[in-house]
Amino acid sequence: MDKYNKYHESLVIDCCKDQPKKKEKTSDCCCPGMHLPSQDNEIEILVRRLTKEVKDLMKSTEARLLCQNKKIDETMVYIKNNLSNALRELLNSMLESGQLEDLITGIVANEIEILQHDVEVLKADNTQNKANISSNTADITRLKANKLEFQEIEEQDVNSKFLNVDITTEYVNDSIVYITAIKNLDKLSCLPTNGDPTEDINDNKTNVIDYAKSHPEYDVYMNTGMNGINIFDGVVNQTTRLDCPCYCGFTADNTMKFYVGLADDFTLADMIDDGIVNCFSGFCPIIENHEVYDLSNITDLADTSEIAEAFEESLPVKHPRQLIGQDDDNNFYIFSIMGRFNNCTGFNYEEMQSYFLAKGLKNVFSCDGGGSMQTIVNSNYVFYPSQELDTNADRLIPTIIGFKLKEIK
């Protein structure tokens, strides 16, 4: 009991320390002010103090290194040698009995277990970070290489397969843009993939690559639009819904012309009167006569057209895009903007307007994009479709454009 009284000041408990101080003690207090703990509380208090000091010491660099190397005996020596004098005095009796050894061993073992768990977590995170860096590096290398993702084509075969077609790539707005330049054009035709310009375009439709392989009379093919009015080499097809507000037409000399509105705004007769011999429906004009097209001409139709309403909602969203453009010399350009894979994001409409205005083209029209994007040159992919990679199956497309080039003499 003498030892107990000797260090009672270090073990004293103030049961009322969290209660408001009162000038006079009253019987309302749960305990008589400051008092010594009972013998039953002594060990618990010592353990709390010891645990706190050991944990603080375990935070030191020296202790962490010892733990990491699993040098438990050395760690024990370090802990015991660095305990505070006050606590050491309080624990002399426990040292003599061996109880302190057991207490410290238990605390150190627990701290080592926690530390080892943290180390394993850090190792796992580091491994994952290295994997992410490796993956990102591979993606960046692939994107910046700016190489066409053709099927395996020997270098000597490129000229024969893509003769008279200039194909380049750019990396813009976190996306690869494939540019297929079509010059020396002989003929352009809008075509139904089912082969019958008078039937419903959604019956027996096929993908562009299969159509190209069975119809080699055209050198370049691209997917075009959606349902709506179509004119296939002078043959009018109105077998599908007619609420599409945007159309791209071509005259006999291949000049592009746009029509935007509902049935009351323009008629099929207007197209025929303008000399349009090929026409398809699509998303919208982007550039018209070297100027950014005012998209409010379409969004203002949102109250009366579901397609226009969906168009308005999609304006800020990035997607893969397929566009057709024309310069002042009536040369055509197919722009295929990658998205949804290989870290490519695609473009939104504001980005398309800015990009194509800088290109200096006379007219640019946005066709059906997303997983419908397909550009084929001499029965070979210019790129792989951006949405159907998992199934290795190209999307079925109702309408396309075929470009026949002049023979090089």
Q: How far apart are CA 383 and CA 178, in angstroms?
A: 8
Beta strands in 282-360 (DSSP E): 284-288, 291-292, 321-326, 332-337, 339-341, 344-345
Give tens-digit pLDDT for 279-304.
999 989 999 999 999 999 888 887 77
Question: What is the rounded average pLDDT of the residues 134-154?
Answer: 49
Give tens-digit pLDDT for 83-136.
777 776 666 766 666 666 676 777 777 777 777 777 777 777 777 776 766 665
Q: How far apart are CA 369 and CA 225, in angstroms?
A: 9
Contact yes or no for 170/179 (Cβ under 8 A): yes
Beta bridge partners of 220: 377, 403
What is the pLDDT, as a whole number, of residue 53?
A: 78
What is the pLDDT, as a whole number, of residue 242?
A: 64
What is the pLDDT, as a whole number, of residue 89?
A: 67
| Reported pTM | 0.61
Above 60 in pLDDT, residue 31? Answer: no
